[in-house]
A and B are shown apart, each in its own frame.
Chain A
Amino acid sequence: MNRTAFDFDRPRELEATAPPELRGVERDRVRLLVTGPAGTTHRSFRALPELLEPGDLLVVNESGTLPASLPAQGDAGTILLNICTEYGGGVWLAEPRWNVRSPGPIPLAPGARLSAGGVTFHAIGPFPGIERLWFFRADGDVTAAMRTFGQPIRYGYVSQPYPLETYQTVFARVPGSSEMPSAGRPFTSGLVRALLRRGVGTAPVVLHAGVSSLEGEPAGTEIPPIYPEPFDVPPETARRVNVTRAAGHRVVAVGTTVVRALETAWDGTAVVARRGFTRLTLGPGRRFHSVDGLISGLHDPRTSHLALLFAFAGEERVRAAYAEAVRERYLWHEFGDSHLIWGARAH
Chain B
Amino acid sequence: MTATDPGPGPRRAAVVTGGSRGLGAVVARLLAGEGFDLVVIAREPGPLWETVKSLRSFGGRVVEISGDVTDPELRARVRAAVDRFGGLDLLVNNASELGASPLPPLAEYPIEQLERVYRVNVIAPVALVQSLLPALTRRHGLIVNISSDAAVGGYPGWGAYGASKAALDLVSVTLSHELEGVGVAAVSVDPGDMRTRMQQAAFPGQDISNRPLPDATLPFWAWLLGQPVGEINGHRYRAQADHWGASA
| Interface set of A (CB-CB < 8 Å, partner B) | 86-91, 93, 110-111, 122-125, 127-129, 135, 137, 227-228, 231, 264, 272-281
Contacts and interface: CB of A to CB of B under 8 A. Distances in A.
A289 to B, nearest CB: 13
A89 B243 CA distance: 19
A123 B34 CA distance: 9
Given A128-B216, A128-B218, A276-B245, 14 more contacts: A111-B58, A124-B30, A128-B215, A128-B219, A135-B222, A137-B33, A228-B223, A228-B244, A273-B247, A274-B247, A276-B247, A277-B245, A280-B242, A281-B242
Nearest to A273: B247
7 contacts: A88-B223, A88-B227, A91-B226, A124-B33, A125-B218, A276-B245, A277-B243
A281 B242 CA distance: 8
Contacts of A110: 29, 33, 57-58
A86 to B, nearest CB: 8
Contacts of B218: 125, 127-128, 135
A110 B30 CA distance: 10
A272 B247 CA distance: 10
A127 B242 CA distance: 17
A277 B248 CA distance: 10
Interface string B25-69: 000011001110000000000000000000001110000000000
Contacts of B30: 124-125, 135
Contacts of A137: 33-35
B80 interface: no
A125 to B, nearest CB: 6
A101 to B, nearest CB: 28
Contacts of B106: none
A125 B213 CA distance: 15
A141 B57 CA distance: 25
Nearest to B59: A111
B208 interface: no
A279 B243 contact: yes
A276 B29 contact: no
B152 interface: no
Interface centre among B30, B34, B59, B222 (most CB of A within 10 A): B222
Contacts of A87: 222-223, 225-226
Contacts of B59: 111
Nearest to A280: B242
A53 B112 CA distance: 70
Given A125-B29, A135-B222, A279 B242 contact: yes
Nearest to B216: A128
Interface range on chain B (Cβ under 8 Å from partner): 20 to 34
B226 to A, nearest CB: 2
B101 to A, nearest CB: 28
Given A128-B213, A129-B216, A122 B242 contact: no
Contact of A91 (B213, B222, B243, B244): B222
Contacts of B245: 274-277
A91 B225 contact: yes
Interface string B208-248: 00001101101100110111000000000000001111111
Contacts of B33: 110-111, 122-125, 135, 137
Contacts of B212: 128
A245 B212 CA distance: 38
Nearest to B214: A128
Contacts of B222: 87, 91, 93, 135
A277 B35 CA distance: 23
Contacts of A93: 219, 222
Nearest to A264: B243
Contacts of A86: 226
A236 to B, nearest CB: 16
Interface centre among B33, B215, B247, B248 (most CB of A within 10 A): B33
Contacts of B244: 228, 276-277
Nearest to B218: A128
Given A87-B226, A122-B33, A124-B30, A278 B242 contact: yes
Nearest to B57: A111
Contacts of B226: 86-89, 91
Contact of A127 (B219, B223, B227): B219
A280 B29 CA distance: 26
A274 B225 CA distance: 20
A264 B58 contact: no
The 8 closest A-B pairs by CB, nearest first: A276-B245, A88-B226, A124-B33, A89-B226, A278-B243, A280-B242, A87-B226, A87-B222
B54 to A, nearest CB: 8
Given A89-B226, A125-B30, A228 B219 contact: yes
B219 A89 contact: no
Contacts of A275: 245-247
A239 to B, nearest CB: 15
A207 B237 CA distance: 21
A259 to B, nearest CB: 13
Interface in B153-199: none
Contacts of A122: 33, 35, 58
A37 to B, nearest CB: 30
A340 B243 CA distance: 27
Contact of B225 (A89, A125, A129, A281): A89
A276 B247 CA distance: 8
A227 B33 CA distance: 20
